[in-house]
Amino acid sequence: MQKKLWLMIEILLGIALLVLLIWFGIRKIEDYRYIKAQNEFKNSMSIVELDSDLDEENIIPIEEVEENKELEEKLQEAAKAKVEELKAEYPSIVGIIEIPKTEILYPIVQGNDNQFYLDHDKEGNYHAFGEVFLDSRNTSSFTDKNSVVYGHNVRSAKTIFNELLQYENEDFFNNHKEIRIYTQEGLKTYEVISVFKAKPEEPYRE
């Protein structure tokens, strides 16, 4: 009886060990896929290298635009040229989003719906991180009353729009009030005046 009991215990321990090894193997595979996806995303985002005319020190502060019309025109042309350059290679690209002094500098794509780019890249390939994309109902010129730009909050990698969560911090909010959108029509500069969290079903587009 005692031998049977020990045999049963050994069998159960063996099964438990096997399950643990399988679980560990699955986790390793998932970790590998995640790291691979993260590296692919970073490489994909490297296509956005702003020209010297669009460097941070050359961007005119909002309040000084009227006094720097000549330079403003130069920046507008540089913004158009950069987006057109990217769009020539990736037709789905409609712009670039940048928040100065952060890691947020991504191309913006737009599709026929708001599902495809959740898990596909600008070349149409599956990608777990998806792309930063403009709502399919918006105009690509960013001239609507509200233009909605989506992007994943990849917390573990602290990438894409994860950094936006820092707007809950007053110091971060005060030091990052400018958002730049580069389009085929030129450079658009927005001032952050308020931040709030909304659920998908809320009428945040209105």
Q: Which residue has the higher pLDDT, 64 or 32?
A: 64
Name the DSSP letter for residue 20.
Answer: H
Task: Tell me if 121 sits within 8 A of 133, measured CB to CB.
Answer: no
Helix (H, G, I), strand (E, B) or coil at 152: coil
Region 50-64: mean pLDDT is 53
Q: Do the domain assignments include residue 60?
A: yes
**Is the predicted pLDDT of residue 137 greater than 50, yes or no?**
yes
If asked whether residues 38 and 56 sit together in one domain, one would say no
Residue 32 has pLDDT above 50, yes or no: no
Can you list the pairs that 130-136 forms with residues at least 24 positions away whose Cβ atoms lie under 8 Å? 131/106, 131/107, 132/97, 132/106, 132/107, 132/108, 132/160, 132/161, 133/108, 133/109, 134/94, 134/95, 134/108, 134/109, 134/110, 135/110, 135/205, 136/110, 136/111, 136/112
User: Is position 198 within any domain?
Assistant: no
Residue 61 lies in a domain: yes
- Please check whether residues 26 and 56 belong to one and the same domain: no
Average pLDDT of span 70-99:
87
- Dump strand ranges (E) for the chain: 93-98, 105-110, 133-134, 149-150, 153-154, 159-160, 178-183, 186-191
Q: Structure tokens of 170?
A: 């007053």
Residue 115 domain flag:
yes
Q: Are 105 and 45 in contact (CB under 8 A)?
A: yes
Q: Does any domain span residue 39?
A: yes
Question: Vertex 158, ends 84 and 154: CA angle to 5°?
Answer: 80
CB-based burial label for 86 (10 Å; 0-12, 13-18, 19+): buried
When divided into structural domains, the chain yields a total of 2
**Pick from 11-20, 57-66, 114-123, 141-150: least confident:** 57-66
Higher pLDDT, 122 or 51: 122
In whole angstroms, give the CA distance from residue 196 to residue 76: 30
Residue 177: per-residue pLDDT:
92
179, 154: one domain: yes
> Considering the chain, what is the average pLDDT of its residues?
78
Q: Tell me whether residue 40 is in a domain.
A: yes
- Per residue in 173-198, pLDDT (tens digit) is 999 999 999 999 888 989 999 988 87
61, pLDDT greater than 60: no
Q: Examine residue 196 and state whether it is found in any structural domain, yes or no.
A: no
Confidence of residue 80 (pLDDT cuts 50, 70, 90): confident
Average pLDDT for 74-82 = 84
Contact 97, 181 (CB under 8 A): yes
What does the alpha-carbon distance between residue 50 and residue 28 come to, in Å, rounded to a whole number?
37
Checking if the pLDDT of 101 tops 50, the result is yes
pLDDT at 46: 54
pLDDT over 90 (residue 138): yes
Residue 55 belongs to domain spanning: 51-191
Q: How many CA atoms lie within 13 A of 115 on its CB side?
A: 1
